[in-house]
Chains A and B, each alone.
Chain A
Amino acid sequence: DIQMTQSPSSLSASVGDRVTITCRASLSISKNLNWYQQKAGKAPKVLIYAASSLQSGVPSRFSGSGSGTDFTLTISSLQAEDFATYYCQQSYNIPYTFGQGTKLEIK
């Protein structure tokens, strides 16, 4: 299985901050990397697919980059509604695997 490692596991930030979350794959996955946002008690929602494509309806303050084994999710200016847990997920190989999550909390 491809292991997905996110860092940090948790992060405290303030409204208006720029935040970056990283995800590393245990082997090259080209650009087959997706990012999801999950709020408490809710299903995850896709933000970014194919490493850098913004899902329709997702605010442009979210962006993704990377290829191969190293990827980043950036939120350019945090809003109150962005405090949530974020997961990366590889769709390169079966079984699909997720990172362990990054919990973004209000400072």
Chain B
Amino acid sequence: QVQLQQSGPGLVKPSETLSLTCTVSGGSFSAYYWTWIRQPAGKALEWIGRIYNDGSTDYNPSLQSRVTMSVETSKNQFSLKLNSVTAADTAVYYCATVTTSSTGNWFDPWGQGTLVTVSS
């Protein structure tokens, strides 16, 4: 059973780069693709983007100019970088597995979430 463990700093200064990593265990890394989602306090979920095992990506246009996702297959890890952060980027960030079938795709399972606060 696939499990995701997130790591990365919980505090980032304004204008700097937010960096998070998700480590996958318990399943075949190459069998899935991966996504990042965030949730400001008390607000709805926002999809950030997805990455395939070959490194190809799709980003939310609202964040595309600031987002970079990468994958390190040898370590069963994928990562998120968001540059030039402001207070508006303060949120809980989640990584998740994109499960696919002939009828669609959905996010399951999820990482535990990382609260990232942007503050000096």
Contact = CB atoms under 8 A, between A and B. Distances in A.
B104 A44 contact: no
A100 B43 CA distance: 7
Chain B interface size, under 10 / 10 to 19 / 20 to 34 / 35 or more: 20 to 34
A43 B106 contact: no
A44 B44 CA distance: 11
Interface stretch (A11-19, A20-28, A47-55, A75-83): A47-55
B51 to A, nearest CB: 13
- Mostly, the A contact residues are loop
Interface residues of A, number: 25
Contacts of B35: 96
A81 to B, nearest CB: 18
B30 interface: no
25 contacts: A1-B61, A31-B103, A31-B104, A34-B107, A36-B107, A42-B113, A43-B112, A44-B45, A44-B110, A45-B108, A46-B106, A49-B101, A49-B103, A49-B104, A49-B108, A50-B101, A50-B103, A53-B103, A87-B45, A89-B106, A91-B105, A94-B60, A95-B59, A96-B35, A100-B44
